[in-house]
Structure 1
């Protein structure tokens, strides 16, 4: 998945190696110093570049931190494991593993906190982190529809609302579990979460021994 980065300014071509070093140094500084003490000068020193190199790429700390965090979430991929339930489990486990990393915890929580009083930062988080992950929801839904696991949605507005809702439910649950409650999103939790997501709260609390955990998942219940 490609990460959305600021538009290149005129002048010397950007160095991919420098970008990688700068974003890695930003995440390292976040873990060690926290948002409030992180400075572009410290990041430049850690990355082995001039401070002017950072300013040619990022207008300030907010933009830099969001892009550093976005690079981590750019590692997310939707696995094709043969069924909607298995695909959801696979991507949620990846998401939880990323959130468990100290640099993701520090960067995401700090950026979200700052964005409560900075509309431009909130928009950058949406464009650089949230929207690319919604693309995974679109991919997963299309795959499930092709398998016949989900019905098609012909109304674009309704389809967009569905994607937003799925993303909000998945991201909200995993972020709360890992960052707020500080509990593990392990395979057992992910499996239970996926069952509730697909069957809803009226489903039985446990799988039957005869049918297995997801053999009774009709598409019309989703």
Structure 2
């Protein structure tokens, strides 16, 4: 599990307790008020801090919500369940469970929508949410190679590109299933998805 502290501005030392309270208050406000009505003033009141404390840490609502959502995804871990397929199923089920949280759904959809007009926000989403989770793909592939489930990696650059592609496939499928189609990513769906991911369309059961 990775801990993540938002990047602050120069000045007095950061308070981890204040950061935790602010991010938790942001997620609470997202659920109760929604994106459009959420304000930094309301978050400050809920967190029990001065509004200026938020502005010393975050430039605005977009950045604050990204970091509040990123903290949820920082809890993702790759379980060791004895096989590559079982490991994938375990982490995908965790991912789907996070996306099922109201604060994750509302926050993620909102910042993605806002990022279509804001390149800086897109970069923050990539650096705070996407990139930190790609290590799970690298970890899973490394573990599978040690088990003999995958061949040795021939080229580090190609390994990185492959890891990026795998991440995109997994994240894209689960986000579409849960947030766009609004269907459950339950154990049966995750098992079938894992079969397709590992075996390909031609080799997956029922193909």
Q: Distance between the aligned counterparts of 2:169 and 2:97, measured in 1?
A: 18
Partner of 1:164: 164
Partner of 2:178: 178
- Whole-Å separation in 1 of the counterparts to 2:139 and 2:169: 17
Confirm whether residue 50 of structure 1 aligns to residue 50 of structure 2.
yes
Q: What TM-score results when the alignment is normalised by the length of structure 2?
A: 0.96
Q: Which runs of 5+ in 1 are unaligned?
A: 207-222
- Aligned partner of 1:135 in structure 2 is 135
* TM-superposed deviation, 1:62: 1.0
Q: Give, in angstroms, the shift of residue 5 of structure 1.
A: 3.6
Q: Report the aligned-residue RMSD.
A: 1.4
Say if 2:159 is the partner of 1:155.
no
TM-superposed CA distance for 1:155, in Å, is 1.5
Aligned 8 A contact 2:44 2:51 in 1: yes
For the residues of structure 1 that align with 2:64 and 2:118, how far apart are their CA atoms? 15
TM-score (norm 1): 0.89
Between structures 1 and 2, the one with greater helix share: 2
Partners of 1:155 and 1:126 lie apart in 2 by: 25
| Paired residue total | 207
Provide, for residues 62-85 of structure 1, a one-character-per-residue CA deviation record: whole Å limited to 9, x for no partner: 110000000000010000001000
In structure 2, C-alpha distance between the alignment counterparts of 1:38 and 1:3, rounded to whole Å: 25
Ranges in structure 2 where 5+ consecutive residues have no aligned partner: none
**Greater radius of gyration (CA):** 1
